[in-house]
Amino acid sequence: MESSNTNLVESLKLLLPLLSGGLAGSILTFFLNRFQAVKRRIEYQTSSTPLLRFRPMSDRPINVTVDKSILTGHDDDRGHQESIQSAYAFSITMKNMGNDTGEPVDFDIDFDKDTKILQSSASIEERQDSNIQPNRDVNLSHRLKLTVPYLNRDEYLYVSVLTTGNSDAKFCQVNGRGKGIRVQPHR
């Protein structure tokens, strides 16, 4: 009986380093693959500044207007003026926090449902070839759409938007579509 116990102990002594080495190798492989995996994470920050907020007084009329075609997106409204009571400037900064340049990304930037987008622009930090044209969604006047051909790792995309009619002057949400892309607010 002692001989079989001795054999078992000797066998375990030989197997234990092999099993622990195999386990350590598996864990190391898992973490290496996890850290080397392609990550496409874009984080964004938003800020807004009121440019105009007032209710005109009846004894001192002040009227601020914009071309109605800017508000509606219809060429038929060009040349007709529309009064506005508010204007906000939004600044949206996006950064590729992943480890991959990746493929094109389509962004939707949403404001509250009452918002009308007056003007917008977009550029990528220190890149001369960044010809990004934001467009208002034809069906949703509170949504801005833009496509970025690529965004390098640690590169910034800056979007400026002038709005009116906001019921929530701080609400701005960014969503992205693209292969393996994840867009989230900055932590």
Tens of pLDDT along 148-185? Answer: 888 888 889 999 999 988 888 889 999 998 888 888 89
Q: Domain range holding 22?
A: 1-37
Mean pLDDT confidence for 114-132: 84
User: What percentage of the chain reaches a pLDDT higher than 90?
Assistant: 26
Q: Let me know whether 67 and 102 are in one domain.
A: yes
Provide the 3-class DSSP secondary structure of residue 130.
coil
This prediction's pTM: 0.73
Q: Let me know whether 27 and 47 are in one domain.
A: no
User: Is the pLDDT at 137 greater than 60, yes or no?
Assistant: yes
Contacting residues for 101 by C-beta, under 8 A, at least 6 apart = 150, 151, 152, 153
Q: Let me know whether 102 and 154 are in one domain.
A: yes
Q: What is the pLDDT at residue 38?
A: 52
User: What percentage of the chain reaches a pLDDT higher than 70?
Assistant: 79
Q: Let me know whether 106 and 27 are in one domain.
A: no
Token couple for 185: 């607010």
Q: Let me know whether 15 and 46 are in one domain.
A: no
With bands split at pLDDT 50, 70 and 90, how would you rate the model's confidence at 129?
A: low
The CATH number of residue 137's host domain is: 2.60.40.290
The pLDDT tens digits of the residues spanning 73-97 come to: 788 988 998 888 888 999 999 998 8
Alpha-carbon dihedral of residues 186, 91, 49, 71, nearest 10 degrees?
Answer: -130
